[in-house]
A and B are shown apart, each in its own frame.
Chain A
Amino acid sequence: MSKVGYCSAALLLGVALGMPVRALAADAASVQKGKQVFQIWCEACHGSGADRPGTLGLEVKYSGKIPARLEDRKDLTPDFIKLYVRNGFAMMAPFRKTEISDAELGALTAYLTRTQK
């Protein structure tokens, strides 16, 4: 589903369930912002393609039991994402707040956990 399609469907579903439209719109905006953060800071390692060392590493680590692309994962939690972004792991260096601010990190977690809501 496209970015716009996802947001529209989420809004319609929220209205049907009686959820506040403003809160859903804020969530959608956060997810959209988080996608931009992912594309700028994460995609070069964790996106699709044989030259993405993060995706390659997770393919080897999980042998297909868990998706290698972070955007396909359904088990990530905000705390788990923040832990890795601020501490790094192995070859992955951590990211400073001048690179990914706390607000941007919050949006990134919203994006990577979007399918769990």
Chain B
Amino acid sequence: MRTPPGLAPESFATALREFEGVVGKDWVFTSDDDLHLYQDAYSPFWGEPDERKASAAVAPHSTEEVQAIMRIANAHKIPIYPISTGRNLGYGGAAPVYSGSVVLDLKRMNRILEVNERNATCLVEPGVSYFDLYRHIRANKLKLWIDCPDPGWGSLIGNALERGNGYTLAPYRDHWGAHAGMEVVLPDGDLVRTGMGAMPGAKTWQQFKYGYGPHLDGLFSQSNFGVVTKMGFWMMPEPEAFRSGTVMVYRYDDLFKLVDILAYLENLKVMSATTRVESPLLFGAFKAPPPSPELAALRARNPGREEYEAFAANNNVPYWSVILRFYGSPKLTAAHWEYAQEKFGTIAGAKFKDGDFYEFPLSDAAVNRIMDKAPLGIPSLEAFSMGGRTPTNPTPSNGHMWFSPIIPMSGEAVQECERVFREAFAQWGVNPLGLPLPQLYHERTFFQIYGFPISHDAETNRKNRETFKRMIALAAEHGWGEYRTAPAFMDACADTYSFNNHALRRLQEKLKDAVDPNGILSAGRYGIWPEHLRKTRS
């Protein structure tokens, strides 16, 4: 039997028996085979001593069972680590941040408690995945969309608490921002509802986000102050139509005006879906076929800007491109696309290409034929082809991890960030995965995304971890902060948010000590450690 650090085996055995009394023997896992399933499948510590491992896992079926487990854990001072669907791959998966914790597996709490079609809201438990809610919508022919992240098996609650992102309209694709109301079990087992849910019998828990008094919801995201057992979300009404189009420009300096117009249209809500700035010339568009031999030779030679621009003009290969997506009616989406072309048409030489057009609802057969499902609110696992075995990648990796600093939404910032990291990679002798071009998730910033494959070779992983940490520090030097990260880097990222001698972390620690005096819940998550473990911070 594994035992949490510092805990006597007899105490742990007693606690496990008490957990079994709450959830039943079938839902307390202690064997090595079962606990192997609670390791991070995409761990950058694969096979190393620092690999995060659970000492046990317990899987409740109700809020009341979660409360009972937290009371037992408090009595025995057992470290607890909640997971929702456990599919936060690339950001820790089902493994605890503090090795030796008991994983509180909430997957069995998978009830869709309410979907309000007229008001476009829902209330769900942590085990509900995007696939689950999508199937519910299709089965009941509801005129609602969900906003999905890349992996459809993720939890609505888990992804929102991680502050994950999706692909439709701005109010919905910020998954944390789209939530309305929470139910939370505190470390001592007490039960809290936030927003209007604090009023017994409230009629607007999922409609009005703020309730009355301080808005405490943020305490429970990227943190360790409570176990979220219910959460409401705003959903998107099914539009009549969807339309996309591509903007292509051909000179390097067009980047600046391109981004300014993109920001203008985004903030006017003319163009409102997630997109990214791509460079078919320099890097190839996302999922693009291999370049022509001439373009491949040009990239290999990497000449000056003038020669690239000449190639772009002579071969109709854009220096920069952006796919725009529109929701509404056929007429409205056509008008928005026409207006966007008018605005981008002020860039000399800009060209435009019509993209997809769909009217809703779609049949199951039509859904199956669509490759780019996420902007249509349809969950899939298509993103796992990135790193998986494909014609151009015959040897699949063992997972991935992402470094995604937030940069300003301007051409100048894109240019600077691309240059800073390109020069650093050359100096360090590394070559991370990913497209070194910005992704638009939130409305006034870009995410600059770099990826690292996970290896089963410890030395390769060690080098990638080292590069990752150097990138965190280099980004911070330039004022770019990471928005979310894997357990291996939570302390390093938290260290960069250091204004006034880490005043924010000191406040978080005061709150942690008050809300969780025994320090049992998710120690170390997002760099917040309980008092008795603060010296172990990496």
Count of residues in A whose CB is under 8 Å from the partner chain: 28
- Distance of A83 Cα from B86 Cα, bound (Å): 20
**A-B pairs with lowest CB-CB distance, top 10:** A93-B41, A57-B389, A53-B385, A90-B396, A98-B107, A51-B382, A96-B37, A44-B381, A53-B384, A53-B388
- Distance of A96 Cα from B87 Cα, bound (Å): 10
Q: Given that A49-B368, A53-B388, A93-B93 are known contacts, is A60 also in contact with B105, CB under 8 Å in the complex? A: no
Q: Is the CB of A56 within 8 A of B390?
A: yes
Q: Is the CB of B389 within 8 A of A61?
A: yes
Q: Is the CB of B380 within 8 A of A44?
A: yes
User: Least Cβ distance of A38 to chain B in Å?
Assistant: 13
Q: Is the CB of B37 within 8 A of A94?
A: yes
Extra contacts besides A91-B396, A99-B107 (12): CB < 8 Å = A44-B131, A45-B381, A48-B368, A51-B380, A51-B385, A56-B388, A60-B389, A90-B396, A91-B384, A96-B107, A98-B27, A98-B105
Q: Is the CB of A60 within 8 A of B390?
A: yes
Q: Is the CB of A51 within 8 A of B371?
A: yes
Q: With a CB–CB cut-off of 8 A, which chain B residues contact A88?
A: 41
Q: Is the CB of B380 within 8 A of A90?
A: no
- Distance of A99 Cα from B388 Cα, bound (Å): 23
Q: Is the CB of A57 within 8 A of B396?
A: yes
B525 at the interface (CB under 8 A from A): no
B487 at the interface (CB under 8 A from A): no
User: Least Cβ distance of B477 to chain A in Å?
Assistant: 33
- Distance of A73 Cα from B162 Cα, bound (Å): 38
Q: With a CB–CB cut-off of 8 A, which chain B residues contact A40?
A: 131
Residue in B87, B371, B389 whose beta carbon sits within 8 Å of that of A50 in the complex: B371
Q: With a CB–CB cut-off of 8 A, which chain A residues contact B36?
A: 86-87, 94
Count of residues in B whose CB is under 8 Å from the partner chain: 45
Residue of A nearest to B394 (CB): A60
A80-117 contacts to B, CB under 8 A, are: 86-88, 90-99
- Listed in ascending order, the chain B residues whose CB lies under 8 Å from chain A are 27, 29, 33-34, 36-38, 41-42, 57, 59, 85-87, 89, 93-94, 105, 107-108, 127, 131, 152-153, 368-371, 373, 379-382, 384-385, 387-391, 394, 396-399
Residue of B nearest to A93 (CB): B41
- Distance of A54 Cα from B397 Cα, bound (Å): 13
- Distance of A58 Cα from B396 Cα, bound (Å): 11
Q: With a CB–CB cut-off of 8 A, which chain B residues contact A94?
A: 36-37, 41
Residue of A nearest to B87 (CB): A93
Q: With a CB–CB cut-off of 8 A, which chain A residues contact B107?
A: 96, 98-99
Q: With a CB–CB cut-off of 8 A, which chain A residues contact B388?
A: 53-54, 56-57, 90-91
Residue of A nearest to B29 (CB): A97
- Distance of A99 Cα from B154 Cα, bound (Å): 12
Q: Is the CB of B37 within 8 A of A56?
A: no
Q: With a CB–CB cut-off of 8 A, which chain A residues contact B373?
A: 51
Q: Is the CB of B59 within 8 A of A91?
A: no
Give the residue among B34, B41, B379 with the most A Cβ atoms within 10 A. Answer: B41
Q: Is the CB of A45 within 8 A of B371?
A: no
Q: Given that A49-B368, A91-B399 are known contacts, is A56 also in contact with B41, CB under 8 Å in the complex? A: no
Q: With a CB–CB cut-off of 8 A, which chain B residues contact A57?
A: 385, 388-390, 396
Give the residue among B89, B107, B382 with the most A Cβ atoms within 10 A. Answer: B382
Q: With a CB–CB cut-off of 8 A, which chain B residues contact A52?
A: 381-382
Q: With a CB–CB cut-off of 8 A, which chain B residues contact A87?
A: 36
A-B CB contact pairs (8 Å), 26 listed: A44-B380, A48-B368, A50-B371, A52-B381, A53-B384, A56-B388, A56-B389, A57-B385, A57-B396, A58-B389, A60-B391, A86-B36, A87-B36, A90-B396, A91-B387, A91-B388, A91-B399, A93-B41, A93-B42, A93-B89, A96-B37, A96-B94, A97-B29, A97-B37, A98-B107, A99-B86
